[in-house]
Amino acid sequence: MTVRHALAITGAVAFASLGVGATTLNVRLGAWESTTAITASGSLIPPEKLARMTPQRRAQMEAALQAFSGKPITTSYCLTQKNLDDNRLFHDTAMCTRKVLSATSSRIEVDQRCGEGQRLSHMHVVIQADSPTTVTMRSEGQTASGGTIHVEGHGRWLSDSCAGVDKD
């Protein structure tokens, strides 16, 4: 697992696609910005991959993961009516399967599994719509290699127009 792969999985979790459901969050459509901080501990890299790395490469990977840990990552995106109708909130990844545990207009709770085999991660995600223009997110998870991942984030609505932002 590369640093980019680990961050892609955990970052995608931050404001993940939630699958089909009858209830959607009461949030405004348009341009949004989210800031997430990911903290990881233990090994995020499968043991067999670590065994194939040179000591220098392993040190580089571990240093890169530590450098990103806890640092905020901010992204912008476009939230459309179709996203809400499909309960696809913000960023999505095809590598993940999700089970909606509960959904109301102000809170969604999800179990998510990303990857497979030695790259499998399991996350428990809660997204709270604090208002139609702000959301908060908290996620706890574990990787197949025994590492733990904690993600905290918040999103804020920017404008009705999605001009200049990712239309994921």
pLDDT score of 126: 93
DSSP annotation of 69: T
pLDDT score of 114: 80
DSSP annotation of 88: B
Q: How far apart are the first and last CA of the chain?
A: 24
Structure tokens belonging to residue 83 = 């996203």
pLDDT score of 135: 94
How far apart are alpha carbons 48 and 30 in whole angstroms? Answer: 44
Q: Looking at the whole model, is its pTM more than 0.85?
A: no
pLDDT score of 6: 41
Q: What is the number of residues in the chain?
A: 168
89 close to 110: Cβ distance less than 8 angstroms: no
pLDDT (tens place) for every residue of the chain, 168 residues total: 444 334 434 444 444 444 334 467 899 999 999 999 988 887 777 777 778 889 898 888 878 877 878 889 999 989 888 877 765 654 555 677 778 899 899 998 989 888 776 667 888 999 999 999 999 999 999 887 788 889 999 999 999 999 988 665
pLDDT score of 59: 86
**Which of 104, 85, 77 lies closest to 164, judged by CA?**
77
pLDDT score of 145: 78
